[in-house]
Amino acid sequence: MLDSYAVIGNPVSHSKSPLIHTAFAQQTNQAMQYVALLAPLDGFEATVQDFRQRGGKGLNVTVPFKLEAYQLATRLTERAGIAQAVNTLKFENDEILGDNTDGIGLVRDIECNLAIPLAGKRILLMGAGGAAQGVILPLLQQQPALLAIANRTPEKAAALWKQFNTYGNISAGDFLYFADEHFDIIINATSASLHNALPELPASIFAQAALAYDMMYRQEPIPFLKFARQHGAQQIADGIGMLVEQAAESFFIWRNVRPQTKPVIAKLKSLV
Ligand code: ATR
């Protein structure tokens, strides 16, 4: 029987993960299968345990189950513990290892694929939900000059400041709080793009930005990226590269083999 993996979520049919992991498996000659697994909103744990009992080796976890996966894991990596969210489960004997590869996926996409080093840079991270929380530590580990966290509800940004300020130079506020500052890299980790909305950012903030990055990917243009480009951002990128890079890290955790990401990113882009 082939080793079996899946992405679990609700909804999940739109997920690109089966395509990505199948491409990785072919490229690296791994005998495995990878499918999409829909879990009822109140049935995450039961669906995981059933998959495991049928011999499943590992899962990617997507919306809305990353917190439940964090709670289900019997052992956590440091980065998953700090993010308080899990996107990768690995089943080993009686243990469920929980990891979070989102942050490293973002860092690799920016540094390796877009060739923009993060060290010494001034970064603005927009959003203070689960998506933002998962990438803060990996961003700080690259030693930016500043990581500013801006959120519509500033109290949530302040709570993240409290949680992470010992790991690097962070500041927190609402979007207007940073209006007069300049940033090299501006990352949208809000869920605004999901709803085709644009966070209310001052346009002037993009004047000196080398990169505006949206962690979402979708077929239609993303309002945030369009706005950033119009107001001076030199380069824009959506979350396709991050998606493939986080998948590659999960693949490595499961198979101990590192796939090449560039051809898979190119393939996904050609499908959009
Ligand atoms: P996720 O896990 O995707 O981060 P979440 O935890 O619900 O989802 O967080 C959503 C984030 O997007 C929050 O930072 C939210 O801002 P608030 O904390 O003020 O609610 C942000 N967000 C969603 N829609 C937005 C919009 N139209 N403009 C600005 N921020 C928005």
Domain spans of the chain?
3-101+241-271, 117-234
Query: Which residues are catalytically annotated?
Result: 66
**CATH superfamily of the 3-101+241-271 domain:** Leucine Dehydrogenase, chain A, domain 1 (3.40.50.10860)
Q: Is 150 helix (H, G, I), strand (E, B) or coil?
A: strand
Question: Is the fold of 3-101+241-271 the same as that of 117-234?
Answer: yes
Q: Is 239 in the pocket of ligand 1 (CB under 6 A)?
A: no
Atom of ligand 1 nearest to the CA of 127: 14
Nearest CA to ligand 1 atom 18: 153
The model's pLDDT over 10-24, given as tens digits with 9 standing for 90+, comes to 999 999 999 999 999
* Angle CA 158–199–195, to nearest 5: 115
DSSP code of residue 210: S
The answer to whether 96 touches 89, Cβ cutoff 8 Å, is yes
Write down the pLDDT at residue 6.
98
- Of all protein residues, the one whose alpha carbon is nearest to atom 28 of ligand 1 is 199
pLDDT band at 220 (very low <50, low <70, confident <90, very high): confident
Of ligand 1's listed atoms, the one at least distance from the Cα of 128 is: 14
Would you state the pLDDT for residue 259?
A: 98
pTM of the model: 0.95
Nearest Cα neighbor of 82 from 9, 122, 141, 143 is 141
**With the C-alpha atoms ordered 194, 251, 139, 185, is the resulting torsion angle positive or negative?**
negative
Range 117-234: architecture per CATH: 3-Layer(aba) Sandwich (3.40)
Q: Whose CA is nearest to atom 7 of ligand 1?
A: 129
DSSP at 70: H
Residues in the chain, total: 272
> Amino acid letter at 102?
D
User: Is residue 174 in contact with ligand 1, taking CB distance under 6 Å?
Assistant: no
What are the pLDDT digits (tens) for 151-202?
999 999 999 999 999 999 999 999 999 999 999 999 999 999 888 999 999 9
Could you tell me if the CB of 9 is within 6 A of ligand 1? no
> What percent of the chain has pLDDT above 90?
94
Atom of ligand 1 nearest to the CA of 153: 19
pLDDT value at position 20? 98
Looking at residue 90, its pLDDT comes to 98
The label of the residue with tokens 């505006």 reads: 212
Tell me the mean pLDDT in the region 207-214: 96
